[in-house]
């Protein structure tokens, strides 16, 4: 991978909110990779020791820059702040709670963009945890692990600074509207801490469904945060999907919407 340093510099942005338990695990892996030139950890107004963890690692590795946001602005704003602090050709966004991360995972997601075979690459978990595997199988556009050109990231995220749960969907929509070449990369034997483990079963489920709800472009806040997308189970699609017994699909967006649209014949 040292040869890739001649192709372009790669920077990593890790947005983190109350991730003191998992952040060090991720930094241990990425800091051991010599072809990554910069790391930015964005503490998005955490109330735990997330910033302290980042500062400790920054003392050990001069490539790591901790950033503290004065209050919680959401993932979109944290990603933008991290990208703005970089001076690299590529930016790789990683979640702070990954489990099982290995250097070859990062290599596989960066190579398509470095080789100009894709404008954005997105990681999809496989054979890690059945819950996260299933979620990304149905909704791969919700993955937070993405690699793209730094300038493109700034242009896209500047329109999504107020986006919270829906930033991944907004970024996917932006990529489609601008005709980016997207490539999904399988990441095997990897998962992340599920919301139920972080917040308890009930609060975790509530947070998960809020995430899915905010991902739908029909949500007014999401419409303000990102450009309008195609009809993702619009009214006529919803009516026809009920005829096919796809009530559950109406609670999701994107991937399942495409399936329903094909079956029902809705083309708008």
CATH of the domain at 77: 3.90.550.10
* Digit-coded pLDDT (tens) for 51-98: 999 999 999 999 999 999 999 999 999 999 999 999 999 999 999 999
Q: What is the mean pLDDT of residues 42-49?
A: 96
Residue 191: predicted pLDDT: 81
Structure tokens at 227: 């450009």
Residue 253: predicted pLDDT: 39
Residue 73: predicted pLDDT: 94
Strands 36-44 and 10-16: parallel
Q: Which of 45-49, 123-127, 167-171, 262-266 has the highest mean pLDDT?
A: 45-49
Residue 143: predicted pLDDT: 85
Domain that holds residue 242: 201-264
Torsion angle in degrees (nearest 10) through CA of 132, 135, 139, 141: -20
Please indicate, yes or no, whether residues 190 and 235 belong to a single structural domain of this protein.
no
Residue at a domain's end among 184, 199, 214: 199
* Digit-coded pLDDT (tens) for 209-261: 555 555 544 443 443 333 333 333 333 333 333 333 333 334 333 433 443 34
Interacting residues of 50 by C-beta distance below 8 A, sequence separation 6+? 16, 17, 18, 19, 20, 23, 43, 96
Alpha helices per DSSP H over 31-66: 50-60
Please indicate, yes or no, whether residues 98 and 182 belong to a single structural domain of this protein.
yes
Please indicate, yes or no, whether residues 206 and 124 belong to a single structural domain of this protein.
no
Please indicate, yes or no, whether residues 213 and 143 belong to a single structural domain of this protein.
no
* Digit-coded pLDDT (tens) for 3-41: 555 567 999 999 999 999 999 999 999 999 999 999 999
Confidence of residue 198 (pLDDT cuts 50, 70, 90): low
Looking at the chain, how many residues does it have? 268
Whether residue 211 contacts residue 252, with contact meaning beta carbons closer than 8 Å, is answered with no
Please indicate, yes or no, whether residues 13 and 102 belong to a single structural domain of this protein.
yes
Please indicate, yes or no, whether residues 97 and 230 belong to a single structural domain of this protein.
no
Please indicate, yes or no, whether residues 167 and 231 belong to a single structural domain of this protein.
no
Whether residue 172 contacts residue 254, with contact meaning beta carbons closer than 8 Å, is answered with yes
Please indicate, yes or no, whether residues 6 and 124 belong to a single structural domain of this protein.
yes
Residue 126: predicted pLDDT: 82
* Reported pTM: 0.72
Number of domains within the chain: 2
């Amino acid at each position: 991978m040292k040869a890739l340093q001649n192709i372009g510099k790669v920077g990593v942005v890790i947005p983190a909110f109350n991730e003191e338990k998992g952040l060090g695990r991720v930094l241990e892996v990425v800091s051991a990779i010599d072809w990554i030139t910069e790391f930015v950890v964005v503490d998005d107004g955490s109330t735990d020791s997330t910033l302290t963890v980042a500062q400790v690692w920054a003392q050990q590795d001069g490539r790591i820059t901790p950033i503290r946001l004065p209050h919680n602005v959401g993932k979109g704003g944290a990603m933008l702040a991290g990208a703005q602090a970089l001076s690299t050709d590529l930016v790789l966004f990683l979640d702070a709670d990954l489990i099982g991360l290995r250097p070859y995972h990062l290599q596989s997601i960066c190579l398509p963009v470095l080789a100009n075979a894709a404008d954005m690459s997105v990681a999809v978990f496989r054979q890690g945890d059945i819950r996260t595997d299933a979620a990304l199988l149905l909704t791969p556009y919700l993955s937070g692990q993405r690699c793209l050109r730094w300038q493109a990231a700034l242009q896209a995220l500047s329109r999504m600074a107020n986006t919270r749960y829906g930033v991944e969907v907004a970024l996917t929509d932006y990529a489609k509207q601008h005709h980016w070449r997207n490539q999904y990369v399988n990441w095997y034997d990897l998962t992340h801490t599920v919301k139920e483990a972080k917040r308890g079963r009930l609060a975790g489920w509530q947070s998960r469904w809020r995430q899915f709800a905010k991902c739908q472009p029909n949500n007014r806040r999401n419409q303000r945060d990102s450009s309008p997308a195609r009809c993702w189970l619009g009214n006529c699609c919803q009516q026809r999907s009920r005829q096919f017994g796809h009530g559950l699909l109406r609670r999701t967006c994107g991937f399942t919407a495409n399936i329903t649209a094909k079956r029902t014949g809705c083309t708008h």
